[in-house]
Amino acid sequence: MAVRRGGGRTTILPLGIYRNGSVEFNIISTGAYDVIYNQKTFNDIANHWAYSNVMFISAREITLGNNEAGTMFDPDAEVTRAMFATFIARVEGVNTANNNITSTFGDVKSVEWYNGRLKMASLTAHLLIRVICVSTRML
């Protein structure tokens, strides 16, 4: 796992890949980078078909599990809109504790823990769709 250290924080680079004995990642800015071992353990995925996928996204802290202790994943649970928005925010490196952004979704109250994440996810999705359309000349 590749991480960037700076400003008293350690930021995981979620798109870093371990391949052929080395870690490959894109440098996002100047600073100090390290490689760490960050494997998570969940009590309910040992024999599940998605084991390797769960290990991949949990090591990158895209997901932290499905209970307070972080010991359960619940691999067959449905992914909610709030969870998906949180995953996107973490991949994008957005501080997911920041709820200063107001969601444009009418069914989400401003006090919900995922409110800011939904707004960020919707903005990111809109930008990605626009980039894809421009690059494929669909716009």
* Domain map (residue ranges) of the chain: 1-38, 39-77, 78-139
- pLDDT bin (cut points 50, 70, 90) of residue 139 is very low
Residue in 4, 7, 2 with CA at minimum distance from that of residue 19: 2
Instruction: Tell me which residue has tokens 């690059």.
Output: 135
CB-CB neighbours of 104 under 10 Å: 10
Strands (E), 1-83: 2-6, 9-12, 17-19, 22-24, 32-35
Indicate the residue type of 41.
T
pLDDT of residue 135 exceeding 70, the answer is no
pLDDT tens per residue, range 36-52: 888 888 999 999 999 98
